[in-house]
Chains A and B, each alone.
Chain A
Amino acid sequence: MEKSQSYTSKYTGKGFVFSLDAFLALIIAFLFIGLIVYNPFEENKNVIARIEGQRQANDLLDLMDRKEILGDLDLDRIEQEMDSALSEQYDWTITITEYTEESTLFSKTGTSSIGNTAEDLSEKDVIKGNRIFLSFDGKEIDKYYVAEYWLWLK
């Protein structure tokens, strides 16, 4: 009986309640701080992934333009190059649109799409970019192309 009384007084004293209150307040404060710090950290991770993806895709399009793979409109080769050089964490699709000019008016004369064209991108956080390239007939521009890519994390 004495033991029970001592137990009760030890955990119901003002000091204990105050310490418990302070401890709980501290936990809540740390959780709050953690959340504030974690949020931008996650955002930064996201930004780094976006920049990395954007750079990879841009460099690849640049390289394929210089190697005239884009200009040849060799879709199989473009697909191979993208799959082999792009990080595995990304999925992608590319649309190449062809334009011709007549009296300074540009009209769309063809479109080709490759990559994962079946994916619904409306819910995805996509990285977008494009590259303009040209084909020539002798000294004059024959056709204008826009290669537009969409990239997202798998």
Chain B
Amino acid sequence: MKKGFVFSVIVLLAGLTFLGFSSFLKQNSTGQYEGSESFVMANRIDYKYENIGDNILDIMIHGTGLSIDAGTDYIYFTENLPDKESQINFYTSLNKYVLFLEEHTDALDINVNVNDMNKIVIGPYDINFWHSNAPGRGNKLNNTIEYSPGNAEFESYVVDVTLQNQTFEDIVVEDDSCMIPGDPDGFCLNIIVRNSVKIPEQTVQYCDLDPNLSCEIVIETSGAADKDVHIFIEPYARMILVNNNSVQVEATSGIDFGSTEITPYIKYPEGFITIRDNKTRVEKR
């Protein structure tokens, strides 16, 4: 075989190898670029999500008069109960905000699930805090507060009620089914009832509450029997606070977590706010 032919074959093979290598590098760099573009977009979406969450919390706090107090091992919410006007106000403001958001958000698909708006989540424990209309318990969003933790990995619920224009009578246990002495999975419920000048009328603590059973405790006032404040403990360690009287009470409710490393914080349920960029297909929900 001629030397020239061998040389040509070697050059051809080397050329092909080189071409293959170049093509691989090119593909790799394109992939890297697309990855970094998605990363920039993920960063942007993350920030927009936080911004919307902050705005909605602002609307909730201003609209409903809800105040939140969180420390290293507790979180408390204070609000008037019932407060229909505030709930209506909140939804009106929220709907307007969503309209504004739709008009002023460039290129991103944003969806806020307004119907599920009264629910917030206590992180990092994933406990739902919301104004529920639990059937047979509280039936109105404006007079019912519900905590749905899913488990009892906390120390105690706290209910601190300040009566206004009502006279306190007694705290009565209507149903004690969940009170199991020595229950190893049990949690506590601390109740304080105050008069209109914030002086405590009665303080009680119920412990060893079984997270899978039900209880009912009533804060009786001088009014009609069906107009009292009820506290229900339900399976999965749910706690429901209902004021059946049209006269408002100031209700501080919350959870003591015992020893914790992370201060509780507020977040939104998954799917409540959805932001998507169609070009990079980056989505946060």
Residue of A nearest to B30 (CB): A40
Query: Interface range on chain B: under 10, 10 to 19, 20 to 34, or 35 or more?
Result: 35 or more
Q: Mark B31-54, 1 if CB is under 8 A from A, else 0.
A: 011001101100110010011101
Bound CA span A65–B54, Å: 10
What distance in Å separates the Cβ of B250 from its nearest Cβ neighbour in chain A?
Answer: 17
Contacts of A29 in B (CB 8 A): 18
Tell which of B26, B50, B97 touches A36, judged by Cβ atoms closer than 8 Å: B26
Of B25, B29, B96, B104, which is within 8 A of A132 by CB? B104
Determine whether the beta carbon of B47 is less than 8 Å from that of A129. yes
Q: Which of chain B's residues have a CB closer than 8 A to the CB of A58?
A: 47
Return the CB mask of A30-65 against B: 1 if under 8 Å, else 0: 001100110110011001001100110010001001
A152 CB–B CB distance under 8 Å: no
Contact of A139 among B50, B63, B96, B100 (CB under 8 A): B63
Interface string of B230-265 (1 = CB under 8 A from A): 000000000000000000000000000000000000
User: How far is the CB of B43 from the nearest CB of chain A, in Å?
Assistant: 6
Q: Does A131 sit at the interface, judged by CB under 8 A?
A: yes
Nearest residue, chain B, Cβ from A48: B36
Question: In angstroms, how far is the closest chain A Cβ from the Cβ of B130?
Answer: 20
Q: Which of B25, B47, B64: most chain A Cβ within 10 A?
A: B47
Q: Decide yes or no whether A144 CB sits under 8 A from chain B.
A: yes
CA distance A39 to B32 in the complex (A): 11
B99 touches A47 (CB 8 A): no
Flag B70-94 by CB within 8 Å of A: 1 or 0 each.
0000000000000000100100110
**Is A141 close to B, CB under 8 A?**
yes
Q: Indicate if the CB atoms of A44 and B55 lie closer than 8 Å.
A: no
Once the chains bind, are A144 and B44 in contact (CB under 8 Å)? no
Check A136 for interface membership: any CB of B closer than 8 A: yes
Query: What's the Cα separation between A107 and B245 when bound, in Å?
Result: 42
Interface membership of A106, Cβ < 8 A: yes
**How far in angstroms is the closest Cβ of chain B from A104?**
6
Query: Are A134 and B97 neighbours in the complex by a CB distance under 8 Å?
Result: yes
Number of interface residues of A (CB under 8 A): 33
Shortest B157–chain A CB gap in Å is 28
Considering only residues 54-103 of chain A, those with a C-beta below 8 Å from chain B are 54-55, 58, 62, 65, 99, 101
Q: Are B100 and A101 in contact (CB under 8 A)?
A: yes
**How distant is A78 from chain B, measured CB to nearest CB, in Å?**
17
Interface SS, B side: helix
Q: How far is the CA of A39 from the CA of B37 in the complex (A)?
A: 15
Q: Which of chain B's residues 82-118 have a Cβ closer than 8 Å to chain A?
A: 86, 89, 92-93, 96-97, 99-101, 103-104
Is A104 a contact of B51 with CB atoms below 8 Å? no
Q: How far is the CA of A39 from the CA of B25 in the complex (A)?
A: 11
Q: Which residues of B contact A39 (CB under 8 A)?
A: 29
Kindly list chain B residues whose C-beta atoms are within 8 Å of the C-beta of A2: none
A134's contact among B43, B58, B89, by CB below 8 Å, is which?
B58
Verify if A146 is at the interface (C-beta below 8 Å from B): yes
Alpha-carbon distance between A39 and B22 when the two chains are bound, in angstroms: 13
Interface flags, A97-134, vs B, CB<8A=1, else 0: 00101001010000000000000000000000101111
Task: Please pick, from A40, A47, A141, the residue contacting B96 in the complex, using a CB distance under 8 A.
Answer: A141
Q: How far is the CA of A137 from the CA of B17 in the complex (A)?
A: 71
Complex Cα distance, B94 from A104, in Å, reads 12
Say whether A33 contacts B59, CB under 8 Å. Answer: no
Indicate if the CB atoms of B21 and A132 lie closer than 8 Å.
Answer: no
Which B residues are in CB contact (< 8 Å) with A32? 22
- Tell me, in angstroms, the Cα distance from A21 to B89 when the chains sit together: 82
| Interface-central residue, A29, A133, A134, by most chain B CB under 10 Å | A134
15 A-B pairs within 8 Å (CB atoms) are namely A40-B29, A43-B32, A47-B40, A51-B40, A55-B43, A62-B50, A62-B51, A106-B99, A132-B100, A132-B104, A134-B58, A136-B62, A139-B63, A140-B89, A144-B100
A: which residues have CB within 8 A of B? 29, 32-33, 36-37, 39-40, 43-44, 47, 50-51, 54-55, 58, 62, 65, 99, 101, 104, 106, 129, 131-134, 136, 138-141, 144, 146
